[in-house]
């Protein structure tokens, strides 16, 4: 699909490569081009004023640790940076085929309310999802992929969209519309937006790490409190109860015996209440999202883009045997594999198999058109799957089907000693 003739009025470039043709973009009309080293993410042609604005934008984005705030800041900074009337950030769902979140600036509350639901990611917004490279359009309405706006949407003409990569994976897209002074977005605007996107990626990554470690320390606290209650508080109460039983024998005054008996009952009740509380703490821990459920969820949701539901086979106690950090990789690889099937294979059937014993094995077999021989291009999807496998000491391979189609085979070893299932 990347070999198709680009529609008129569109200029796309790969954010990771200088330019499709390898030629620099001249914005100053001169023909002396300064080319950045090939490993530079963006080649820069902006002036000092723009660089200062970019720096301000980057600083404002990096200043917070909470993900929701970071995302909001990114959208605001992007809008100001390129002088757009409206800006939005679309966050992709785990299948990377739909928008899970859509954060806007420039629209007031009433306008937002009148537009209604957030966009699903069809039309122009969908272009960036299918093929995450920058897009610039002088007029949104004239593009063949345009679906038009919903009835109460303010008119928007010029458009600039750039993908946001976090750790080598598309996290979402930045959309900017209606350049405020005149003739649409320029090369420089695109460069600025790409640079901001690169900085934003770091801020997002940082915020996510922060949230994750906060979550982990909450879990650790729970565990610690539960242990403390059980080992210290309950044991003490128990011992006190026993001692009081002993005291009971020493007294022959009926009123004292009566009172001691009531205190002992109180202590028993308290112990029962604490045990219930410990149990509740443990349940809260166990009820976290199970990997099995997350896999089911991902597979079910992928039906929307595949047009049919994959057949899923789960073999072995995946919730007990697969540690969290491996689970994250598994879900990412499965999501990418299903998105590849939907985007590239034209398959009518997919079989997803997950097996655990000493290894964790994921297989995604489609009956589609198979890999075209000599596919030299392509994105980061397959490469990332291989890296994820290697990081865990495993391997990934793409195997052609016997008659048609493709099977992705992804295997990683599981830590030994986890297999007892007890804790
Ligand atoms: N299930 C499949 N059937 C047929 N071809 C496939 C399949 N999966 C991948 N491919 C081919 O392999 C190429 C590389 O896939 P890869 O996931 O690395 O990149 P991409 O999907 O094009 O881009 P990205 O994953 O970065 O969004 C694809 O462009 C496509 O040509
Ligand atoms: Mg892919």
The ligand placed nearest to the CA atom of residue 372 is: 1
- Give the domain range for residue 273: 215-286
Protein residue with its CA nearest to atom 11 in ligand 1 = 371
**What's the pLDDT score for residue 316?**
84
Domain final residue pick, 259, 286, 313: 286
Nearest-angstrom CA–CA distance, 109 and 115: 10
Q: Let me know if residue 2 belongs to a domain.
A: no
- If asked whether residues 121 and 198 sit together in one domain, one would say yes
101 dihedral zone (left: phi>0; alpha: psi -120 to 50; beta): beta
The ligand placed nearest to the CA atom of residue 377 is: 1
**What's the pLDDT score for residue 378?**
67
The ligand placed nearest to the CA atom of residue 129 is: 1
Q: What does the pLDDT average to over 300-319? A: 87
How much of the chain is helix, strand and coil, in % rounded to 5? Answer: 50, 15, 35
Task: List CB-based neighbours of ion ligand 2 within 5 Å.
Answer: 340, 381
- If asked whether residues 219 and 315 sit together in one domain, one would say no
- What is the pLDDT of the chain when averaged over all its residues? 81
Protein residue with its CA nearest to atom 15 in ligand 1 = 378
Q: What is the CATH number of the domain that holds 308?
A: 3.30.565.10
Q: Among the listed ranges 88-92, 198-202, 282-286, which one has the minimum average pLDDT value?
A: 282-286
Residue 223 has pLDDT above 90, yes or no: no
Distance 66 CA to ligand 1 centre (A): 33
Q: What is the CATH number of the domain that holds 24?
A: 3.30.450.40
- The better pLDDT of the pair 212, 417 is held by 212
- If asked whether residues 231 and 199 sit together in one domain, one would say no
The ligand placed nearest to the CA atom of residue 380 is: 1
Structurally, the chain folds into a number of domains equal to: 3
Confidence of residue 393 (pLDDT cuts 50, 70, 90): very high
**What's the pLDDT score for residue 160?**
96
Residue 86 has pLDDT above 50, yes or no: yes
Most confident of 144-158, 293-307, 364-378: 293-307
- The better pLDDT of the pair 363, 231 is held by 363
Find all residues with CB under 8 Å of 168, minimum gap 6, and list them: 380, 384, 387
- If asked whether residues 71 and 98 sit together in one domain, one would say yes
- If asked whether residues 176 and 105 sit together in one domain, one would say yes
Q: Let me know if residue 329 belongs to a domain.
A: yes
Q: Let me know if residue 38 belongs to a domain.
A: yes
- If asked whether residues 271 and 307 sit together in one domain, one would say no
Distance 343 CA to ligand 2 centre (A): 8
Ligand 1 atom with least separation from CA of 370: 4
Residues with a CB atom less than 6 Å from ligand 1: 340-341, 343-345, 366, 368-371, 375, 378-383, 406
**What's the pLDDT score for residue 10?**
47
Nearest-angstrom CA–CA distance, 22 and 43: 12
Protein residue with its CA nearest to atom 16 in ligand 1 = 381
- If asked whether residues 296 and 199 sit together in one domain, one would say no
Residue 394 has pLDDT above 70, yes or no: yes
Q: Let me know if residue 123 belongs to a domain.
A: yes
Neighbours of 200 (CB within 10 A): 29
**What's the pLDDT score for residue 24?**
36
Confidence of residue 286 (pLDDT cuts 50, 70, 90): low
- If asked whether residues 79 and 176 sit together in one domain, one would say yes
Helix residue spans in 131-253 (DSSP H)? 187-228, 235-250
- If asked whether residues 204 and 189 sit together in one domain, one would say yes
Domain final residue pick, 254, 286, 318: 286
Alpha-carbon distance values, 379 to 168, 336, 375, 376, 384 (Å): 10, 11, 11, 10, 9
Q: Let me know if residue 3 belongs to a domain.
A: no
Distance 299 CA to ligand 2 centre (A): 16
Domain final residue pick, 233, 256, 286: 286
- If asked whether residues 173 and 261 sit together in one domain, one would say no
Residue 2 has pLDDT above 70, yes or no: no
Distance 96 CA to ligand 2 centre (A): 9
Distance 252 CA to ligand 2 centre (A): 83
- If asked whether residues 282 and 334 sit together in one domain, one would say no
- If asked whether residues 146 and 198 sit together in one domain, one would say yes
**What's the pLDDT score for residue 9?**
43
Q: Let me know if residue 96 belongs to a domain.
A: yes
Q: What does the pLDDT average to over 361-368? A: 96
Residue 26 has pLDDT above 70, yes or no: no
Place of tokens 């995450």: 132
Ligand 1 atom with least separation from CA of 132: 27
Q: Best mutation site among 16, 344, 346, 397 for ligand 1, i.e. most ligand atoms within 8 A of its Cβ?
A: 344
Query: Is the pTM here over 0.75, yes or no?
Result: no
């Amino acid at each position: 699909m990347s070999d198709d003739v680009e529609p008129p009025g569109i200029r796309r470039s790969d954010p990771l490569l200088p330019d499709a043709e390898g030629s620099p973009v001249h914005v100053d009309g001169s023909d002396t081009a300064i080319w950045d080293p090939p490993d530079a993410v963006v080649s820069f042609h902006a002036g000092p004023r723009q660089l200062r604005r970019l720096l301000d934008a980057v600083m404002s984005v990096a200043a917070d640790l909470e993900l929701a705030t970071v995302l909001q800041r990114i959208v605001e900074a992007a809008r100001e940076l390129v002088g757009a009337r409206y800006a939005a950030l679309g966050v992709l769902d785990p299948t990377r085929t739909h928008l899970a979140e859509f954060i806007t600036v420039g629209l007031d509350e009433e306008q937002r309310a009148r537009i209604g639901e957030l966009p699903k990611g069809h039309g122009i917004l969908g272009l960036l999802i299918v093929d995450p490279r920058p897009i610039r359009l002088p007029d949104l309405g004239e593009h063949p992929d345009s679906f038009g706006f919903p009835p109460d949407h303010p008119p928007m003409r010029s458009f600039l969209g750039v993908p946001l990569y976090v750790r080598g994976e598309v996290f979402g897209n930045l959309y900017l519309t209606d350049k405020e002074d005149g003739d649409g977005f320029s090369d420089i605007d695109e460069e600025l937006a790409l640079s901001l996107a690169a900085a934003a990626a770091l801020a997002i990554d940082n915020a996510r790490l922060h949230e994750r470690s906060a979550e982990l320390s909450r879990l650790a606290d729970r565990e610690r409190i539960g242990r403390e209650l059980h080992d210290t508080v309950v044991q003490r109460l128990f011992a006190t109860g026993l001692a009081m039983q002993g005291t009971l024998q020493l007294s022959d005054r009926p009123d004292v015996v009566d009172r001691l008996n009531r205190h002992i009952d109180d202590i028993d009740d308290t112990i029962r209440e604490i045990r219930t509380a410990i149990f509740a703490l443990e349940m809260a821990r166990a009820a976290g999202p199970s990997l099995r459920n997350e896999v089911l969820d991902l597979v079910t949701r992928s039906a929307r883009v595949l047009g049919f539901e994959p057949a899923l086979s789960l073999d072995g106690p995946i919730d007990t045997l697969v540690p969290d950090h491996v689970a994250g990789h598994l879900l990412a690889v499965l999501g990418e594999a299903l998105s590849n099937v939907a985007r590239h294979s034209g398959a009518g059937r997919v079989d997803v198999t997950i097996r655990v014993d000493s290894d964790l094995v994921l297989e995604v077999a489609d009956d589609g058109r198979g890999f075209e021989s000599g596919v030299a291009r392509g994105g980061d999807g397959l490469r990332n799957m291989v890296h994820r496998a290697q990081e865990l000491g495993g391997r990934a391979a793409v195997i052609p089907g016997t008659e048609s189609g493709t099977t992705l085979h992804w295997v990683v070893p599981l830590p030994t000693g986890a297999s007892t299932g007890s804790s």
